[in-house]
Structure 1
Amino acid sequence: MENNVLMIAAEFPPCGGGGVGRVSALARYLIDKGYRVTVLTASENHYAISDPSLVFEHPNLSVVRLQSPTIKTWQWRLKQVFPFISFDDNYILWRRFAIHKAKQLHRQAPFDVVVSSYPCTSNHAVAYAVAKTFSVPWCADYRDPPWWLYSESHKQQPQFYDYANLAAHNVVTTSQAKQLISQKLAVSEHDITVVQNGCHPMAASIPIAAPASEGFELIHTGSFYEEGRDINELIRAVDAMDSAITLRFIGDKPYSTTKTLLESLTHPERVTFTSYIPSNEVLTISAAAAALVVIQGDLFTNQIPGKVYEYLALQKPILLITNTGSATYELMHNEPNVICAEYGNYQSIADAILKLKHHKVVMIDRQRYTRDKMAQKFEWVICNLLK
């Protein structure tokens, strides 16, 4: 008899972005193991970026895509009347439809277990409603901890205490996040399992191209933020070096202080920004880079960017800009192709770039970073809930 799994994932292929890979890979793995998987997700009008290459089909996979308006459509109007109103996430309107639909699906063909994956609060809210109504075992995947758990500037969200009390098990991506969730939500560490992220199989199998003989290009992919993932000291360091070193950001636009900085550079042509590119193309570009960049400040000390596993699997020199003791540092600092620099420290970053430029790549087992191990461990958690 097949085990029937309901996955609540507002963002699911063809939605693009690094976070989608975790739930997508888990769905694939469960299906391969004989599970029947139903994914309750949002309509494509919610997705800021789309990547059709991530879409897959299988007889044991049912994707239920609910049409609903986005909160962005109404947000500016509501702000006119209620200027201090805030929303948990962009799927708050979808959530209402999803709760009703999830209950309807369970009545038609009962689920054996429910899995929901943060950072979308609405995913947990839908799973909570199903678990509470039907007493179905629920696995809450937090990935990274909610911001309010480790930043005093964010208002606490009391519904997470309800989630913690009802969820049969919780999953996080780092040991630091496990401790934080346990302390803040009063959950036993026995009820929390660390399941690290992983990379797309393509990252571990794509041919590694030799970097261009002329120049040395550093590439940073994905989002960056003035608070917690600041790129300005890195830009200053590159601007002060010889002309052979350039810096390319893929997937995000410069924020206000960076725009001001760019205007003051001696060599602004060395720093370029490219908007979103599909994940397969990003991997191809990254595989040909001279070196890759990871930036994690104090705000993200408990979490690890998903792209780290792709970077490691690409077997490229990596510039890691973070503080000693962060989750990303603990994972990466002993890796043979990683050069570390202190977050926000111009001189430390400049010194690390010079080391990176002369680094000789060490051959590694690229397959050990794929999402297969992540999905295998996650399936083990689900197996225990089904006993």
Structure 2
Amino acid sequence: MKKNILMIASEFPPCGGGGVGRISAIAESLAKNGDRITVITANKEHFSIFDYSLTVSHENLKIVTVYSFPIRKFLWRMRRYIPSFKYLDNYSLWSVLAKIKVNSLQKTKSFDLVISSYPSMSNHSVAFFISKKFNIPWIADYRDPPSFLYDSSQKKQKCFYNYTKQALINCVTTKNAKEMISAGLQVSPKKLYVVQNGCSKIASTINQTNPEDGGFELVHTGSFYENGRDINQLIEAIDSLSTPVKMRFIGDEPYNSTKELLLKINNPERIEFISYMNSDEVLKISAACSALIVIQGNLFTNQIPGKLFEYLALEKPILLISNKGSATHIITLDEPNVIFAEYGDIESIKLGLINLKSHKVVGIDRSKYTREKMAKNFISLLDII
């Protein structure tokens, strides 16, 4: 039986970013499946990046924008002086108005199911409100695990997640599900499900080429951070190689310690930083490089970056710089084109780069990594409900 579904996604196209593609693909696939989807999202003023290539449209899909004043800068200032403000997210004010909106919509549309998207806690807050008030089944989709699982400063935030005992919880890996149980969330293991993430169909069909100059070129896309995705060891390892390697970072700017490092290395011109680009343009560059880089340090041991599935679908050699036993390491153990290097260990990274240069790509089924495949699995989850 086709369903009337309410989806709470404060960040939805044209908002850009690694996680937006997951929830938009689920919405589009459900609409194509014949379900009626109403998406509650925020106004564009909240979004820091845009990616119109992620835009979805279907006769069964209706997007409702709830307008509110962005409080990102206000929260940034207040968190410096009032500790309790760090437990609020950028959509906290929006969520208050979104609850009013969904309350009025429920009275006329009678939703059968509500789905909310993390990492915005406010999305789950709105879904909890409508689920409890009208006794509607609820799926809380955790594209990333709750922050208190990997950030000790967020331990008190547990109380904000205990209301999810009312929801069926969907995670991207079995490891994430086990971590959520062990963290003391009041949720039965029987209500925890796993639907792996995915990438755009373009990533699995785009033609791969090699750098035009015949050199060896590495590409890293997305954000990096000193305390969890530090790129400095990678740059030092590249600089120590006897043969030249070009490195492109797409989507972020170097932090101060990286700028200082670039002044000390032998060939800083081989390290290039490119600002944010839409996903289709990034894919073209990624498909034309020699190999791809994934960096996941201790802080992100429970997380799997969405770009990993994009990289796998591109059928390129991948150097994974992470910790043994991390969620990303575990999920790639059987991937023939992934080479592992220990995060924070320059010699291990250097050896990984050497192995990367000599790696012969193994042919795979590229389509199994797509969001379309992921969305089909999500639809199967609804059938269980």
- Where on the TM-score scale, by shorter chain, does this alignment land: which range? over 0.9
Contact 2:32 2:58 in 1 (8 A): no
Of stretches 311-320 and 233-242 in structure 1, the one that deviates more from structure 2 is 233-242
Please name the residue that 1:171 is paired with.
170
Contact 2:165 2:188 in 1 (8 A): no
Please name the residue that 2:50 is paired with.
50
Please name the residue that 1:336 is paired with.
336
Partners of 2:100 and 2:273 in 1: CA distance: 42
Report how far residue 88 of structure 1 moved.
Answer: 2.4
Give secondary structure in 1 for the equivalent of 2:273: strand
CA RMSD of aligned residues (A): 1.7
Report how far residue 12 of structure 1 moved.
Answer: 0.5
Please name the residue that 1:181 is paired with.
180
Of stretches 148-157 and 107-116 in structure 1, the one that deviates more from structure 2 is 148-157
Of all paired residues, the percent bearing the same amino acid is 52
Contact 2:13 2:52 in 1 (8 A): yes
Of stretches 84-93 and 103-112 in structure 1, the one that deviates more from structure 2 is 84-93
TM-score by length of 2: 0.95
Partner amino acid, structure 2, of 1:186: Q
Report how far residue 56 of structure 1 moved.
Answer: 2.2
Report how far residue 264 of structure 1 moved.
Answer: 1.9
Of stretches 143-152 and 71-80 in structure 1, the one that deviates more from structure 2 is 71-80
Partners of 2:143 and 2:245 in 1: CA distance: 35
Contact 1:220 1:249 in 2 (8 A): yes
Please name the residue that 1:381 is paired with.
381
Contact 2:95 2:125 in 1 (8 A): yes
Task: Specify whether residues 212 and 358 from structure 1 end up closer, same or farther in structure 2 by C-alpha distance, changes over 3 A only.
Answer: farther
Deviation readout 1:142-196 (Å, 9 max, x if unpaired): 12211112332324214434322221x1000111110111122032221100111
Deviation readout 1:275-318 (Å, 9 max, x if unpaired): 10000000010000110000111221112111011101001011
Report how far residue 84 of structure 1 moved.
Answer: 6.5
Please name the residue that 2:260 is paired with.
260
Report how far residue 348 of structure 1 moved.
Answer: 0.7
Report how far residue 258 of structure 1 moved.
Answer: 1.7
Deviation readout 1:35-93 (Å, 9 max, x if unpaired): 00000000011111101121122111100011111112534665697577335221111
Partners of 1:333 and 1:161 in 2: CA distance: 31
Contact 2:128 2:164 in 1 (8 A): no
Report how far residue 14 of structure 1 moved.
Answer: 0.5
Partners of 1:79 and 1:162 in 2: CA distance: 23
Partners of 1:260 and 1:84 in 2: CA distance: 35
Give secondary structure in 2 for the equivalent of 1:352: helix
Please name the residue that 1:241 is paired with.
241
Partners of 1:338 and 1:26 in 2: CA distance: 27
1:172-251 alignment, distance < 5 Å: 172-184=171-183, 185-242=185-242, 244-251=244-251
Partners of 2:152 and 2:258 in 1: CA distance: 26
1:342-381 alignment, distance < 5 Å: 342-381=342-381
Contact 1:170 1:193 in 2 (8 A): yes
1:22-171 alignment, distance < 5 Å: 22-75=22-75, 78=78, 82=82, 85-167=85-167, 169-171=168-170
Report how far residue 257 of structure 1 moved.
Answer: 2.0
State the aligned residue count.
Answer: 384
Runs of 4+ residues deviating >4 angstroms: 76-84
TM-score by length of 1: 0.95
Partner amino acid, structure 1, of 2:253: K
| Structure 1 portions without partners, runs of 5+ | none
